[in-house]
Structure 1
Amino acid sequence: MSHDSRVAALDSLLEDAGLDAVLATKDASIAYLTGFWGLQMERFFGVTVRKGGEGALIAPSLDRDAVAAAPTGLEKALYDAAKGNGLSTLYETFGSAKRIGVEEDHFIWARAKELTSAGYELVPASDLIMELRAAKDAEEIAAVKHACAQIIAVYEEVWADLKVGDSEADVNAKAAYSLARRGGAHPGPHILFGAHAGDPHGSPGSRTLQEGDVIVADIAAQFDGYWGDMTRVAHAGTPSDWAAKAWDIVKEAYDDAVAATMVGNTARDVDHAQRVIVEAHPEIGACLHGAGHAIGTEIHEPPFLVATSETPLREGMIFTVEPGIYNSEKGGIRLEDDILVAADGPVNLSPSALELRVIE
């Protein structure tokens, strides 16, 4: 689907939503609608879509070349960020529209206050935009699969190079370089050893790999605007009884959660499939997170596979499925793949060996 087709699809929702226009401000939403990726920082970027399908990509003139190259039929409205905050340019793109849908989980309060003071009525519209972004088309699915293929290649480099005595910092730096060399943006390897792996959000540091350590390698990066996100596990030397048992538990949870990632189920069904297995083994470790999250132009995007979500799964959605079990003293085990919700069942977009690899 072209970017202009996505704008038309968004326009088709405005009447029923009671909106005169929508303002998208998230990087990922701007890119979804126009193909343009900017660096926001303190400057204002946005896309307006008015009823009728007209609108604009608003950006500072600093980004004029990238804006000019953006594959969109919308107006390209530039402003001088050294002389203003861009809101007067934004107002011009609204035309006569007054009731504006905004991404309420992103649009900052200070700008919202300025718009309301200028006479605009702001209405939450994040769900409206995500309704379109949630189901991926064939090109988007291929892009996620391509990103995963690059990550799989990096895993092979990591495993081939890893040895006892290596530090987390060095291993992560090498993986990040390999991702970047392959064209990955925002390379995000998160490779932890031993007890550090018992903290899903632990920070890689100076700890070195020791015999008997479990290794949890979560590797993610964005390629051509779309993310891949995977996790694989290894062990330095013969796996301990704990590691072998934890692996079996998580593999069973993974298999059941992937099988549940299908049209007709809800997000909470997928979470329940893994949670009922992991939580049955408190002697091994804890279940510290949901089953996963949607992925696309953002690495984490809704819907989220958590116990509180009744969101129905639709054909074309892509989720990470990533059950894990965590022990603060012994480490963690997590398996993660990117799973497409297809008409005839789940499809793994990141197929590679699922094994407790041994590092000699």
Structure 2
Amino acid sequence: MTEFDAPVPFTSEDYAARMRGVVDQAVAAGLTGAVVTPGPDLVWLTGYQPTAITERLTALVLAADHPPTLLVPRLERPDAEAAEGATAVTFADWTDGTDPYDAVAPLLRGDGSYAISDSAWAMHLLGFQGVLPGSSYRSMTHSLPMLRAVKDANEIGRLAAAGAAADAAYGEIKKVRFAGRKETEVAADLAGLLREFGHSQVDFTVVGSGPNGANPHHEAGGRTIQPGDAVVLDFGGLKHGYGSDTTRTVCVGEPTSEIQEIHDIVRAAQQAGVDAVRVGVACQEIDRAARAVITEAGYGAEFLHRTGHGIGVTTHEPPYMVEGEEQPLVPGMCFSVEPGIYLAGRFGVRIEDIVTVTEDGPRSFNNTDHRLAVVE
């Protein structure tokens, strides 16, 4: 499907460079370093994801004054040492029956200020503060918003492959019957197609038919899809460890003039958002460009959400295309552009592509037809 269907493995130096980047960002933010617990940041930095995230403390400590150190429960150390990025870290461990916070204390400065994973357990944060009451911690997302925002060529290739797979799934789902079937049945078809085209993980398959399409995050339910329905299809997951996320709106049979009109407005708004993507433009300008089209058409109050979100090892991450986000776009940022109009109790329309910023403008990872498709 793409040259990245067999992805190039990340190297130890790739992981080491990422960890150095975190330290540099932390220092620039006035912090001592960062504490990374199990979750997407840990996977991105080390290639390691515990088979089961339990109450046992696992923490990667990054700071300028000592090498990257991954503290793990001793029983999980063999798995951690087998991770792709294991040679880029120093290992420490602790044993059941001992205090893990005594083990982590030597890795932290008593008066240090650290960014910490948003998903860190409160019991661990309290444990750190218990052994080092002079230390302080700040949200990773708020402190280091650019942590994973800029992708390298390997990551962009994986995102491109994921996007192409999602496009292929859309091409096939248009061939199935919609009318007379439940939303859950079409959603199951979508999930199967994503897996068929190489996704290892399916995160969501939104099938919002008729009035359910007016709920942007509707979960497919038992409603039977009717002739004449507009149906919002929003689906994605992970391929090669990187995300896909695309939305198209289809109509069961020929659309009414109103459905076609709303779709045309959203299509123009989505294109305006993509056209606004260029190096140096603030993230909020993408939102403004798309929103202006919808507002001018008289449906500003029916555009209920931000225009976009970043994507990488998770399907939602910084940067966000939303009013107030002044972070300038730089090459390698990857995010969605997904305006919508939602008419409560009637129907909704959304169109979404994942794009990346290049020196020459936007490059889209989704390239299926934006026109309103008619399905059976």
Deviation (angstroms), 1:234: 0.7
- Residue 156 of structure 2 aligns with which residue? 141
- Residue 77 of structure 1 aligns with which residue? 92
CA distance in 1, matches of 2:112, 2:221: 49
Consecutive unaligned residues of structure 2, counting only runs of 5 or more, are 1-12
User: How has the CA–CA distance of structure 1 residues 63 and 179 changed in structure 2, closer, same or farther, with 3 Å as cutoff?
Assistant: farther
1:21/1:97 contact within 8 Å kept: no
- Residue 255 of structure 1 aligns with which residue? 271
- Residue 308 of structure 2 aligns with which residue? 292
Matches within 5 A, 1:55-94: 55-61=68-74, 63-72=76-85, 73-80=88-95, 83=97, 86-94=100-108
Pairwise CA RMSD: 2.4
User: C-alpha offsets along residues 308-329 of structure 1, whole Å, 9 cap, x if unaligned?
Assistant: 2112111111110001000123
User: C-alpha offsets along residues 14-33 of structure 1, whole Å, 9 cap, x if unaligned?
Assistant: 54444443212261111121
CA distance in 1, matches of 2:99, 2:371: 53
SS in structure 1 opposite 2:341? strand
SS in structure 2 opposite 1:314? coil
- Residue 338 of structure 1 aligns with which residue? 354
Deviation (angstroms), 1:62: 5.5
CA distance in 2, matches of 1:301, 1:86: 30
SS in structure 1 opposite 2:119? coil
CA distance in 2, matches of 1:173, 1:63: 35
Q: Which amino acid aligns with 1:166?
A: R
2:110/2:135 contact within 8 Å kept: no
Deviation (angstroms), 1:91: 2.7
Deviation (angstroms), 1:103: 2.6
User: C-alpha offsets along residues 64-91 of structure 1, whole Å, 9 cap, x if unaligned?
Assistant: 45412212210233445x5467433333
User: How has the CA–CA distance of structure 1 residues 42 and 155 changed in structure 2, closer, same or farther, with 3 Å as cutoff?
Assistant: farther
Equivalenced residues, count: 358
- Residue 180 of structure 1 aligns with which residue? 195
Q: Does 1:222 align with 2:238?
A: yes
1:165/1:209 contact within 8 Å kept: yes
Q: Does 1:203 align with 2:219?
A: yes
My pick for the range that moved more, 174-183 or 327-336, is: 174-183
Q: Does 1:130 align with 2:142?
A: no
> When the two structures are superposed, what TM-score results if normalisation uses the length of structure 2?
0.87
- Residue 347 of structure 1 aligns with which residue? 363
1:14/1:51 contact within 8 Å kept: no
Deviation (angstroms), 1:128: 5.1
- Residue 152 of structure 1 aligns with which residue? 167
1:8/1:53 contact within 8 Å kept: no
My pick for the range that moved more, 284-293 or 12-21, is: 12-21
User: C-alpha offsets along residues 43-101 of structure 1, whole Å, 9 cap, x if unaligned?
Assistant: 43321112146122233456445412212210233445x5467433333444x564141
User: C-alpha offsets along residues 130-172 of structure 1, whole Å, 9 cap, x if unaligned?
Assistant: 3241111111111111111121122223222233111111111
1:20/1:50 contact within 8 Å kept: yes
Deviation (angstroms), 1:247: 0.7
Deviation (angstroms), 1:211: 0.3
1:263/1:342 contact within 8 Å kept: yes
User: How has the CA–CA distance of structure 1 residues 71 and 243 changed in structure 2, closer, same or farther, with 3 Å as cutoff?
Assistant: same
User: How has the CA–CA distance of structure 1 residues 144 and 346 changed in structure 2, closer, same or farther, with 3 Å as cutoff?
Assistant: same
CA distance in 1, matches of 2:129, 2:300: 53
- Residue 25 of structure 1 aligns with which residue? 37
Q: Which amino acid aligns with 1:37?
A: Q
1:7/1:53 contact within 8 Å kept: no
CA distance in 2, matches of 1:272, 1:14: 30
User: C-alpha offsets along residues 239-264 of structure 1, whole Å, 9 cap, x if unaligned?
Assistant: 11111001110011011000112112
CA distance in 1, matches of 2:299, 2:24: 53
- Residue 9 of structure 2 aligns with which residue? none
1:292/1:306 contact within 8 Å kept: yes
Matches within 5 A, 1:250-289: 250-282=266-298, 286-289=302-305
Residue number among 47, 53, 60 corresponding to 1:47 in the alignment: 60
Q: Does 1:99 align with 2:108?
A: no
User: How has the CA–CA distance of structure 1 residues 254 and 92 changed in structure 2, closer, same or farther, with 3 Å as cutoff?
Assistant: same
SS in structure 2 opposite 1:131? coil
Residue number among 172, 176, 183 corresponding to 1:161 in the alignment: 176
Q: Does 1:118 align with 2:131?
A: yes
The percent of aligned pairs where both chains have the same amino acid is 28
- Residue 4 of structure 2 aligns with which residue? none
Deviation (angstroms), 1:224: 2.1
CA distance in 1, matches of 2:302, 2:98: 51
- Residue 357 of structure 1 aligns with which residue? 373
CA distance in 1, matches of 2:56, 2:201: 21
